Amino acid sequence: MPAAPVQFGQYPPARRTLLHISDTHLLAGGRPLSDQFDTGLNLARTLEAAEATGIRPDAIVFTGDLTDLGESEAYAALRAAVEPWAERLGAPVVWVAGNHDERPALRRTLLDLEPTEEPVTGVWDLDGLRLIALDSTVPGWHHGDLDDAQLTWLREMLATPAPLGTILALHHPPLPSHVPLFDILELRDQGRLAEVIAGTDVRAILAGHLHYSTSGTFAGVPVSVAAATCYTMNLARPAVDVNGMDAGQSFHLVHVYDDTITHAVVPVVEAPTGDYFSAEWVERMSRLTPEERLEGFSRKPS
């Protein structure tokens, strides 16, 4: 049995770890999105990069816009790409609906459910960490909303706290955007959601939709938005001129600790990296006392 890892700092290892991926926008037949973005290839690169981290997550969360047009063939291609990969990682996949998705095809092809317009929601118990998927989509529209029935259901779920707290996942983030087009397509009537989660054990909200990574707080709860795998928004422009680019794709590593949750942005990029730090280096550091580690690594040269 391997020895327990040495704790180098004041925080013990994370209690739970999630992979947060968003906005895959697959099209049937592998067609390029907008005739320029190879969404299938970009997804494959993202999955490869996530697996290369060596993380074995407790869950993998896809926060919506799984397909671009809601085509059954596109959902089937997504499932064929993700399920064997998730099985290797030993983690359940949480599919969240986005405004480009169509509930009937998503339910039938990804979830093996009746192809209805019922919201795509769910609850997962990750050994004490509760993950709740909400459906902020509005059939026939691109803006977001949460209906009364869904908010009532959420209120009932949150009435009983979970041992490690709750994370919510939905597509439309309850945050402002400095890009005008996203404010038009925002989650509407956000005050109703704020009222439901106030005073509950909700510790974080995961979202997508924006095609760029950002974060903020909503009703006192941290919100983390993952960028897209298909294409991202080029924010190095005036807000009124922001458009998509085939660069900057990333995913998030979510680490859940006792008193905090971190959201690390992991770029999907090929670039030369150094080789100073390694498993051998960590093992060597683990053999030292805390004082020796500080002396050998923290002290600046004279």
Strands, E assignment, the chain:
16-21, 59-63, 93-96, 122-126, 129-133, 166-169, 202-207, 214-218, 221-225, 232-233, 244-245, 250-256, 261-267
Average pLDDT over residues 193-201: 97
| Alpha helix ranges (H) inside 66-141 | 72-89, 103-111
| Burial of 204 from C-beta contacts in 10 A (0-12 / 13-18 / 19+) | buried
What's the pLDDT band for 1 if we cut at 50, 70, 90? very low
Min mean pLDDT across 4-18, 137-151, 225-239 is at 4-18
Q: Is the pLDDT of residue 112 over 60?
A: yes
- The Cα 205–Cα 144 span in angstroms is 15
Q: pLDDT for 5-41, tens place per residue?
A: 789 999 999 999 999 999 999 999 999 999 999 999 9
Q: pLDDT for 270-302, tens place per residue?
A: 889 998 999 999 999 999 999 999 999 999 998
| Burial of 300 from C-beta contacts in 10 A (0-12 / 13-18 / 19+) | exposed
> SS3 for 240?
helix
